[in-house]
Amino acid sequence: MSRPLPTEFDAADDTYYAPTRPIINGQHGTIKGEHDLASQCHYLLGHARTPIVRTIFNADQSAGAGLQPYVVGAATEGLVKAAWFVPCLSGPWVNWEIVALVENTSVAHAATVRVKRASDGTYVDINVPYTSGQWTRVTGTLAIDTARSYDSLQLHPINGTTGEVRVHDIEIRYAPLGSVAASKFTLGGVTFRPFDDSEVAADAPLSVAFRNRLYANLEFIRRAHTDSVVGWSDSALYRVAAYQYTSVGYTVAARIPFMAPAHKSYLRWGLYGFVTSGTGYVRLSTLRSRAAGAVDYEKQLAVGWTSPHTSNLIKYDDTNMGALTCTPGESDEIMIELKGTNATLMGIVAWAVDP
**pLDDT value of residue 206:** 62
* Fold match between domain 51-174 and domain 241-353: yes
Domain boundaries, the chain: 14-48+186-226, 51-174, 241-353
Sign of CA dihedral 129, 133, 134, 135: negative
The whole-angstrom separation of Cα 151 and Cα 129 is 29
**pLDDT value of residue 205:** 57
3-state helix, strand, coil in the chain (%, to 5): 15, 45, 45
Q: Tens of pLDDT along the chain (355 residues)?
A: 476 666 666 666 555 555 555 455 455 454 456 777 788 888 888 887 889 999 999 866 666 655 678 898 999 998 899 999 999 987 888 999 999 999 999 999 999 999 999 999 999 999 999 999 999 999 999 999 999 999 999 999 999 999 999 999 999 999 998 888 888 888 888 898 888 877 766 555 566 777 788 889 889 888 888 899 999 999 988 877 889 999 999 999 999 999 999 889 999 999 999 999 999 999 999 999 888 887 789 999 999 999 999 999 999 999 999 999 999 999 999 999 999 999 999 999 999 998 7
CATH architecture of residue range(s) 51-174: Sandwich (2.60)
The whole-angstrom separation of Cα 220 and Cα 187 is 7
Fill in the DSSP letter of residue 49: -
**pLDDT value of residue 41:** 84
Are residues 228 and 85 in contact, defined by beta-carbon separation less than 8 angstroms? no
The pTM assigned to this predicted structure is 0.88
The whole-angstrom separation of Cα 157 and Cα 101 is 12
CATH architecture of residue range(s) 241-353: Sandwich (2.60)
What is 74-85 written as a DSSP string?
BSSS-S--EEEE
Sign of CA dihedral 248, 322, 327, 9: positive
